[in-house]
Amino acid sequence: ERGARGFGYDAVFAPRDGNGLTFAEMSLEEKHALGHRGRAFRALAEVLRR
């Protein structure tokens, strides 16, 4: 476990494109950019633009 931010399992999960950081070590902006909710929102926004 690494990092003091976030909650739950954020200190355990390190996304592939997170430069070796766990979600708990990232800023909120970084976490939102790489997290599943941010990806889902961007995909929805792309569909709505069409």
Q: Residues 3, 11: contact at Cβ < 8 Å? A: yes
pLDDT value of residue 15: 87
Over the stretch 1-50, which tens digit does the pLDDT of each residue have?
A: 888 787 788 999 888 888 999 999 999 899 988 888 888 999 999 999 99
Q: How far apart are CA 23 and CA 30, in angstroms?
A: 8
Domain residue spans in the chain? 8-49
Q: What is the pLDDT of residue 41?
A: 93
| pTM: predicted TM-score of the whole model, two decimal places | 0.70
Task: Tell me the two tokens of residue 21.
Answer: 């950081």
Q: Give the pLDDT of residue 26.
A: 93
